[in-house]
Amino acid sequence: MIQLKNSEQIALMKEAGRITGEALALAGEAVRAGITTKHLDDLIRHHIEKCGARPSFLGYGGFPGSACISINEQVIHGIPSQNVYLQEGDIVKIDVGAYYRGFHGDSANTFAVGNITPEAKKLIETTKESFFRGIEQFKAGNRIGDIGHAIESHVTANGYNVVKRYVGHGVGHELHESPEVPNYGRAGRGPRLSVGMVIAIEPMVNMGTSDVIELSDGWTVLSADRSLSCHYEHTVALTENGVELLTLVE
């Protein structure tokens, strides 16, 4: 069942979103060659806890980190490690969640480590653009399929593929709520969008095949052909005044 939020609940979610967005931005600013993914994870956890919140991902289903940190062909759910160092030319996806006063925020971005290839830059740009194509369809009366169709259309027009095995989702008291928000679909299909909906729109885009595989650690997801992958996500609310990006930090 889709849980609609009132204005007071959305205001609380905006606080959870702010903490989430700040932690993600802080980690992004720290990205450079030679640091470990565990260092980034520590920065994220410290900021979230300093704000009186807790990392949404820590212990979620047994996940051992405070954030998911995934490099290059890793799509999502990379486990932070003191033995994994960022290298010049990498692209690193950082996915952060914070739980504050009963609500979650959820946001992700892809960061360049030093100088990256033009091909990697284009993939990052296209993934971010596809998010905003999707959010243009997040309006009362539209349907979930309108969001996914807009995202996938932009991605495929640029020669890439969206990951279909993993999708966006509702956000609220639980980190993952109804409805599912695929990054593909048919316009005019799926649950109808209503004021009070809060969802995470999160295109995951592969340079090659849309197929993915899961490593034996039970978490890390890779593109099946080992092509580069990007991720971009915000928690967004549909209000009487339109769309509000709860995890966006200006």
Question: d(Cα 37, Cα 25) in Å, to the nearest integer?
Answer: 15
CATH code of residue 173: 3.90.230.10
Instruction: With respect to residue 20, please indicate whether it lies within any of the assigned structural domains.
Output: yes
Q: What is the largest CA-CA distance in the chain?
A: 49
Three-state DSSP state, 58: coil
Under 8 Å between Cβ of 52 and 98: no
Q: What domain count does the chain have? A: 1
Tokens 């889709």 correspond to what residue?
2
Amino acid at 19: I
Three-state DSSP state, 60: helix
Under 8 Å between Cβ of 223 and 212: yes
CA atoms within 13 A on the CB side of 45: 16
Average pLDDT for residues 42-58, to the nearest whole number? 98
- What are the beta bridge partners of residue 192? 143
Instruction: With respect to residue 183, please indicate whether it lies within any of the assigned structural domains.
Output: yes
pTM of the model: 0.97
Question: d(Cα 11, Cα 193) in Å, to the nearest integer?
Answer: 20
How high is the pLDDT of residue 6? Answer: 97
> Positive or negative, the Cα torsion across 129, 96, 16, 6?
positive
What pLDDT, in 10s, does the model give residues 169-198? 999 999 999 999 999 999 999 999 999 999
Tokens 């807009």 correspond to what residue?
150
Check pLDDT > 90 for residue 46. Answer: yes
Length of the chain in residues, anyone?
250
Instruction: With respect to residue 2, please indicate whether it lies within any of the assigned structural domains.
Output: no
> Positive or negative, the Cα torsion across 47, 49, 50, 51?
positive
How high is the pLDDT of residue 96? Answer: 98
Instruction: With respect to residue 1, please indicate whether it lies within any of the assigned structural domains.
Output: no
> Positive or negative, the Cα torsion across 33, 39, 41, 44?
negative
How high is the pLDDT of residue 250? Answer: 78
Helix and strand counts by DSSP (H, E) for the chain: 4, 15
Instruction: With respect to residue 189, please indicate whether it lies within any of the assigned structural domains.
Output: yes
How high is the pLDDT of residue 9? Answer: 98
Instruction: With respect to residue 250, please indicate whether it lies within any of the assigned structural domains.
Output: no
How high is the pLDDT of residue 99? Answer: 98
Instruction: With respect to residue 223, please indicate whether it lies within any of the assigned structural domains.
Output: yes
Express as a percent the part of the chain with pLDDT over 70.
100
What pLDDT, in 10s, does the model give residues 106-143? 999 999 999 999 999 999 999 999 999 999 999 999 99
Domain of residue 110: give its range: 7-245
What pLDDT, in 10s, does the model give residues 77-101? 999 999 999 999 999 999 999 999 9
CA atoms within 13 A on the CB side of 170: 18
What pLDDT, in 10s, does the model give residues 57-76? 999 999 999 999 999 999 99
Which residues, other chains included, contact 107 with Cβ-Cβ below 8 Å and sequence gap of 6+?
A: 17, 20, 21, 24, 95, 96, 97, 200, 233, 234, 235, 247
Express as a percent the part of the chain with pLDDT over 90.
99
- Indicate the pLDDT class of residue 3, thresholds 50, 70 and 90: very high
Instruction: With respect to residue 208, please indicate whether it lies within any of the assigned structural domains.
Output: yes
What pLDDT, in 10s, does the model give residues 30-43? 999 999 999 999 99
